[in-house]
Structure 1
């Protein structure tokens, strides 16, 4: 039990620090003690309940989720976007804005940026501001050709992002998924494609989406996957895909014919990129996200608050 005099000192120090804005060094000089003594007094004031700190801001909940997720999954950075009051179609746009904002800051320190494909990454590119980043080269990390849904393909996204940055990009002249392993081998042996794949392996940073092959799958929507493919993937234990590469519940890339027919980086090559940003929304992708995190494919996660809450509750 503290004496009246001890409590009085704690209150005086706390008032000087929190109300009058004096530094710990200034208070220490006033009382002729060292700064660590003042620090200890402030900590004691918290323990005794003399000081109670409240953070009153609408971002507090999302910041708290970010910290918990970063700690739980050992991530470099997490951004959680509040979805309160937003219609479903607006959530992806808000996610794109947040991801674009993060990318603007990171692009100051990189020379090359890899990009996958899909509707979530389209939102990022659409929300990215026009600026001058001539030193940043954009590289597709998976094939991106086809006549359907061209705006979602990696080559188109790379071109559009390069325009926004006033920089340059490479093109991977191949579809993401080809009909046979033989055709894939012939394509990746050509110099143009081999050179871009080598560039992709060596990018400083990459942005990817995460898919659930069985619900809301863009790959199914654009015709890369048919019903028999989905049955086969389910039997093989697929729970998600990154850059058209399918993985199981613990994040291991599947030994499956569809993975072998992809023209692009495999999951191990993606993992070796210094920083991989995963941008994903929707709690229906919960298992897909958990497995990707278990596989160690992401360094940064950008997601919505509902999905973040579900990830916190998960037992992984």
Structure 2
């Protein structure tokens, strides 16, 4: 009887209610017998993984680095190919998880996040309540326009309110930083940072990306030299860390107009979007140090992260 019911349901596609009527059984009994078929090994479930899907690598990354989730993109080639692939995969991922009510922080000086937002489609229902920049968005005019477009377009796609940071990401000294943070507008933004439910983060490396250099918000050559001497390999929102993911202290911390380390780490879902050979060390450090707990990356980077 168990085998007969299993064949009717799984091979012939007959619904449980119709099986019950045909065999003069109750539907709950048909359901129990189908469950028993699985327990006895009469029915076995096989998951066929589509080409280009790397669930085993994703699970290995999650286990090794304690990630809540890893998404590995099946893309190879030069930096532009990787950027395009991460953009498409990142857009699809966000479209699938954003169901409303989120308070999202986003780093404005990330080429990868620009690629993601460029590929997203407007959601039918609001995907978030608020979207706020995680670090100052003022800079060289052409680059600033792209950073502002990132936030504006993203908020429009999600049907959310947008909050811009009316200041550069990096200022000349602590006095300027403290003066700006004392402004009511910046205090209101700091309150928003403290209540974020999600952060979308680009993972930076040394030397910084061309986009960040063009923005006027990149660290100077002298500061880069000091950071490298102190062991820095990368950053998120200008918060630098070494190969083990430990924060690298420097006077830059007091010149950054952006979310601080403690507030960033308190965000429940911190999604890092990064890939490419030049960023392998920075990405490894970011996941090792817990700067991000979700990673969207390319297959070559994933293999490098698992390589040792």
Q: Is 1:102 matched with 2:96?
A: no
The residue number in structure 2 matching 1:65 is 57
**Per-residue deviation, residues 230-266 of structure 1 (Å, max 9, x unmatched):** 1111011101110121111221222111122111112
Deviation track 1:108-164 (CA, whole Å, cap 9, x = no partner) reads 1333211112111111111121235285211111111012411443x4422221223
The SS at the match of 2:70 is strand
1:245 is aligned to: 239
Look up the match of 1:93: 84
Structure 2 stretches lacking a partner, 5+ long: 20-24
Q: For residues 215 and 37 of structure 1, do their structure 2 counterparts lie closer, same or farther at Cα, with a shift above 3 Å needed?
A: same
Q: Write out per-residue CA displacement over residues 11-39 of structure 1, whole angstroms, 9 at most, x where no aligned residue.
A: 9999889756799xx9xx99xx9777644
In the other structure, the counterpart of 1:184 is 177
Counterpart selection for 2:112 from 120, 131, 144: 120
The 1:288–1:17 alpha-carbon spacing in structure 2 relative to 1, beyond 3 Å, is: farther
Q: Is 1:143 paired with 2:124?
A: no
Offset of residue 296 of structure 1: 1.2
What is the root-mean-square deviation in Å for CA atoms of aligned residues? 3.3
Equivalent position of 2:248 in the other structure: 254
TM-score by length of 1: 0.80
Task: Report how far residue 178 of structure 1 moved.
Answer: 0.4
Q: Distance in 2 between matches of 1:206 and 1:241?
A: 15
Give aligned pairs, total: 295
The residue aligned with 2:158 is: 165
Q: Does 1:286 align with 2:277?
A: no
CA contact (8 A) 1:138 1:170 kept: yes
Question: Match of 1:247, SS?
Answer: strand
SS in 2 for 1:72: helix
Deviation larger for 87-96 or 225-234 = 87-96
- CA distance 1:87–1:21, change in 2 (3 Å): farther
**How many angstroms apart in 2 are the aligned matches of 1:204 and 1:35?**
41
Conserved? CA contact 1:110–1:205, under 8 Å: no
Match of residue 197, structure 1, among 167, 187, 190: 190
Contact 2:6 2:34 in 1 (8 A): no
Structure 1: gaps spanning 5 or more residues: 1-10
Of stretches 293-302 and 134-143 in structure 1, the one that deviates more from structure 2 is 134-143
Q: CA deviation at 1:175?
A: 0.6
Per-residue CA deviation, residues 250-292 of structure 1 (Å, 9 max, x unaligned), is: 2122211112211111222111111111101113211111111
SS in 2 for 1:278: strand
Alignment match, 1:42: 41
Given that 2:98 and 2:127 are in contact with CA atoms closer than 8 Å, whether structure 1 keeps it comes out as no
Q: Is 1:277 matched with 2:271? A: yes
- Structure 1 window deviating more from structure 2 (156-165 vs 267-276): it is 156-165
Q: TM-score, normalised by structure 2?
A: 0.82
